[in-house]
Amino acid sequence: MTMADLSEANARLYESLLEGDHAALARVITKIENRTPGYRELLAALHAETGSASVVGVTGSPGTGKSTLVDSLTKQYREAGETVGVIAVDPSSPYTGGSVLGDRIRMGSTAGDMDVFVRSMSARGRLGGLSMATADAVKALDAFGKDRIIVETVGAGQNEVDIVETAETVAVVVQPGSGDDIQLLKAGILEIGDLFVVNKADKDETAGTVADLETMIHMDASPTAGLSTGHHGPSAAEPDPEDGDTGDDSGWTPPVIETVATTGEGVDDLRAALDDHQQYLVDSGEAAGRRRRQAETEIRRLLRTDLGELAEGVLDRRGGIEAVASQVARRETDPYTVVEELVDPLESAVEESLAAESEASEK
């Protein structure tokens, strides 16, 4: 899809965004959040302009100092002359669906810097803390021309793996002496981290936490441990030479970085580790493979969304989910027959469309 396919208003937004207008960027992200009609066409046109930014995900339990760390990292990027976009995914308000921590008051050292764009977005109840809107907002920031994009997510838990679908590099932040954090890592978060940050490292318990993390990472990376290496080991998918994915990836061992975000101590080491991982992705060919897997996930998610909406429409024509469910509850029918009857017209329409395409291609 090109700019010619856009409405007049969206075409103006498209041009303004590419020209570096932050107000246009903000309006585009608002359209994305609200799912305003035409937003998909706008994103489709912007897609060709993406692919230049470095996207980092920062996740961890509440209280680990993620926001302060992101603020300190952003400051370093700006001192190096790079532009930054920050998407802070906050808990959804149960009343409005909007983000609760919208002011991001702990990320204020770059306030007033026009080359730093900070936007809070609602998790909208998504278990992993990331909504489809977040990934789309990252695309808008990328097309805008931001050099670095940081996605800070709410919480940490088994479902926080959603961030892998958006970020190239994932940093998991823990604090010293937090047994809960280590238990979460053992429960499945370990495999999503490309690097681990022990923030508030001026505490006495730091050495023990670092040792625990390094032991867990060693076990995860060891072939004899029989554990998954997550997304930092060799690609689980078949190598694709056209994408530069040779299958020769020997794996990445996540480093453990100690920081004190409030003073900036160790943040330069974090920045260096992030750059090292970015270089590793390029050198190993894993960058292309990861982009492909993220695209696969996005396509499947969009398909599920659109097919789900079609199914809802079919349900509405049958009297709505409550009416159909009541029939099942009264044993007048069963859920399997109901779904089969709902899917049949959709399946028939798809088959007719494919047959028409095949016939047209043969002419």
| Alpha helix ranges (H) inside the chain | 8-18, 22-34, 39-47, 66-79, 132-144, 179-184, 206-221, 267-284, 286-317, 321-329, 335-362
CB 209 within 8 Å of CB 182:
yes
Q: Which residues in the chain come in under a pLDDT of 50?
A: 93-105, 125-129, 157-159, 223-230, 234-238, 244, 246-249
Which percentage of the chain shows pLDDT scores above 70? 77
The whole-model pTM stands at 0.82
Tokens of 28: 């585009």
Angle at 35 between CA 33 and CA 38, to 5 degrees: 125
Give the whole-angstrom CA distance, residue 317 versus residue 40.
Answer: 26
For residue 153, what are its two tokens? 């997510």
Q: How far apart are CA 115 and CA 83, in angstroms?
A: 5
CA 338, CA 327: separation in Å to the nearest integer? 9
Contact 261, 69 (CB under 8 A): yes
Which pLDDT tens digit goes with each residue over 250-308?
A: 588 999 999 999 999 999 999 999 999 999 999 999 999 999 998 998 899 888 888 88
What is the spatial distance between Cα 330 and Cα 326, in angstroms, rounded to a whole number?
6
Q: Which two tokens stand for residue 225?
A: 């441990």
**CB neighbours of 202 closer than 8 A, spacing ≥ 6?**
260, 265
CATH (residue range 50-284) = 3.40.50.300
∠ CA 22-81-122, rounded to 5°: 40
Domain boundaries, the chain: 1-47, 50-284, 318-362
What are the pLDDT digits (tens) for 2-47?
676 789 999 999 999 999 999 999 999 999 988 899 999 999 999 9
